[in-house]
């Protein structure tokens, strides 16, 4: 797994989703405070699509901005050629643009107190 880096500007700040979704988001945030989890592992644990999971993570990143917590992101990485320079580091690439392998490690997230 690649080293975690702070991703300060990788998130858009869209309006928050309705309250119904807040509970799931808080539970995801709690899990990321406990341990680092990949986008696909989170999606499986919360029975969400990967896209929905990433949306929650983006909102979590926005909601903890300015607090003493921060979201760390381990960008996706090709398991075959170690390519990491994906256009969208918060997406789950289906294949590597460099070697076209489908063996791409999804991005992983963790919340840490400063
Ligand atoms: Zn590759």
What is the CATH number for 30?
A: 1.10.10.10
pLDDT-above-70 percentage for the chain: 82
Does some domain include residue 81?
no
35 within a domain of the structure (yes/no) = yes
Q: Residue 80: inside a domain, yes or no?
A: no
CA of 91 to the centre of ligand 1 (A): 16
Q: What string of DSSP letters covers 27-73?
A: HHHHHHHHS-EEHHHHHHHTT--HHHHHHHHHHHHHHTTTSSEEEEE
CB 83 within 8 A of CB 69: no
Q: Specify if 14 maps to a domain.
A: yes
Count of the separate structural domains present in the chain: 1
pLDDT of res. 13: 54
Most confident option among 2-16, 57-71, 82-96: 57-71
Domain assignment present for 63: yes
Range of the domain at 47: 5-75+108-113
Measured between alpha carbons, how far is 89 from 54 in angstroms, rounded to an integer?
11
CA of 105 to the centre of ligand 1 (A): 10
pLDDT at residue 57, rounded to an integer: 95
Please tell me the predicted confidence (pLDDT) of residue 8.
57
CA 88 to each of CA 7, 9, 22, 75, 77: distance values in angstroms, whole numbers, following the listed order: 12, 12, 25, 9, 12
20 or 58: which carries more pLDDT confidence? 58
Q: Is 58 within the bounds of a domain?
A: yes
């Amino acid at each position: 797994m690649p080293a975690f880096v702070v991703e300060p500007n990788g998130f858009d700040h869209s309006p928050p989703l309705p309250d119904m979704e807040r509970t799931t988001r808080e539970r995801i945030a709690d899990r990321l405070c406990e341990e680092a989890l990949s986008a696909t592992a989170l999606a499986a644990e919360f029975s969400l699509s990967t896209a929905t999971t990433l949306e929650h993570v983006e909102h979590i990143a926005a909601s903890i901005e300015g607090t003493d917590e921060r979201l760390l992101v381990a960008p996706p990485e090709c398991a075959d050629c170690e390519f990491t320079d994906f256009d969208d580091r918060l997406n789950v690439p289906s294949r590597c643009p460099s070697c076209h392998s489908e063996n791409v490690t999804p991005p992983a997230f963790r919340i840490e107190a400063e």
